[in-house]
Amino acid sequence: MTNDTGGDVRLSGISKHYGSFTAVHPLDLTVPQGSFFALLGASGCGKTTTLRMIAGLEEPSGGTVHLGEQDVTVLPPYKRPVNTVFQSYALFPHLDIFENIAFGLRRRGIKSVKKQVDDMLDLVQLGEHARKKPHQLSGGQQQRVAVARALINHPRVLLLDEPLGALDLKLRRQMQLELKRIQTEVGITFVHVTHDQEEAMTMADTVAVMNAGRVEQLGSPSDLYENPRTTFVANFLGTSNFIAAEVDSTSGDDVVLKAGGGKLTLPAARCSAPATTGGKVLAGVRPEKISLTHADDAGGIPAGRNRISGRIAGSSFIGVSTQYVVDSPVCPEFEVYAQNVDRDERLVPGADVVLHWNPAHTFGLDAAQDIDAGIQEEAAS
């Protein structure tokens, strides 16, 4: 951290209106220096607008942008210590790779560029392609040229807007690791925009989940996944099962819930809804935390686990795991992922089962939210 605010990029109350439409609601965001930061959200939620306000390509309707100590809110883009990599990386087709990367230095009148360009070529592992033209490279290689071309200017912050969007899935995965390696090596702050939750989780130290022009939640990938505070985040990042429940009592560090005639327990620390007796809570649990036991063997389930009964409605074998959909009185389509270690041949559609899990793996959310928030958005993207 190089300054007392600890932020390399600091947005304070930044907002953007287009006529009567608000693309970004007043937003506060601090990106720590040297971190890989992702803005994640569905199409149209305001990611690019936010990024463009950092770059100076879009004038905010209100609020301020700081880069380090400096208030850059009124600075034009070229005076800001940032560079942007776009999805359409727009390399210069007539220049070779070396000259594409050297471009920023040459424009500033720097004569001896060889050492710096060679270092960049090494960084993105394209040394042997230096004299090729962009059209002679693969999509992933071209993308790396675009990153090198931006990094050679030593920006304080590198902004990346869906930089891998044009690549096919396999190449995307490779480039995610590659970009992460490059960021770790250069130690420059990266702000990466994506609608792909897996991409954000793979690469970023911190993810800000955006929804309709607001940051819904911010945290490390594991924190967001394990402790979503809204149904939107719980559904947008992976899959969540929700059981509508009512607070029965609190005992020690636990909250006891009533649901469909049975009881469920969750840690009070994981319940973001008020735990007052009679209050409504959505009890959430991730599909991979749940075990499935055939009803005939229910007696063998250890005491102290949360349990509900149901009937298997469908199952799909996907190699590493089997994904079950279970009908239960408390949740119509319970999703359960079972690793393929010892498969129980009786677990087929129509079988009566008990779903059970460690109460510590339950999270509680305010029931006054749309249980399906975030689901359509992900499917549509």
Site residues, Mg ion (CB under 5 A)? 48
Q: Which residues pair with 263 in a beta bridge?
A: 258
Residue among 17 and 280 whose Cβ is closer to ligand ATP: 17
The option from ligand ATP, Mg ion, none interacting with 18 (CB < 5 to 8 A, set by class) reads ligand ATP
Q: Does 44 bind ligand ATP (CB under 6 A)?
A: yes
**CB proximity list for 252: less than 8 A, separation 6 or greater:** none
Q: Is 14 exposed, middle or buried (0-12, 13-18, 19+ CB in 10 A)?
A: buried
Q: Does 23 bind ligand ATP (CB under 6 A)?
A: yes
368: how many CB neighbours lie within 10 A of its CB? 8
Q: How far is the CB of 137 from ligand ATP (least distance, A)?
A: 25
Q: How far is the CB of 163 from Mg ion (least distance, A)?
A: 11
**Residue listed under structure tokens 């690549």:** 167
Q: Does 164 bind ligand ATP (CB under 6 A)?
A: no
What is the rounded distance in angstroms from the CA atom of residue 163 to the CA atom of residue 168?
A: 12
What is the rounded distance in angstroms from the CA atom of residue 217 to the CA atom of residue 211?
A: 9
The option from ligand ATP, Mg ion, none interacting with 277 (CB < 5 to 8 A, set by class) reads none
Residue selected from 192, 195, 286, 356 as contacting ligand ATP according to rule CB under 6 A:
195
The option from ligand ATP, Mg ion, none interacting with 43 (CB < 5 to 8 A, set by class) reads ligand ATP
Residue selected from 2, 5, 6, 18 as contacting ligand ATP according to rule CB under 6 A:
18
Residue selected from 49, 84, 143, 293 as contacting ligand ATP according to rule CB under 6 A:
49
Q: Does 48 bind ligand ATP (CB under 6 A)?
A: yes
Six token digits for residue 174: 């490779």
Number of continuous H segments (helices) and E segments (strands) in the chain: 9, 20
Q: How far is the CB of 48 from Mg ion (least distance, A)?
A: 3
The option from ligand ATP, Mg ion, none interacting with 195 (CB < 5 to 8 A, set by class) reads ligand ATP
Residue 200, H or E segment: helix 197-203
Q: Is 212 exposed, middle or buried (0-12, 13-18, 19+ CB in 10 A)?
A: middle
Residues in touch with ligand ATP (CB under 6 A):
18, 23, 41, 43-49, 195
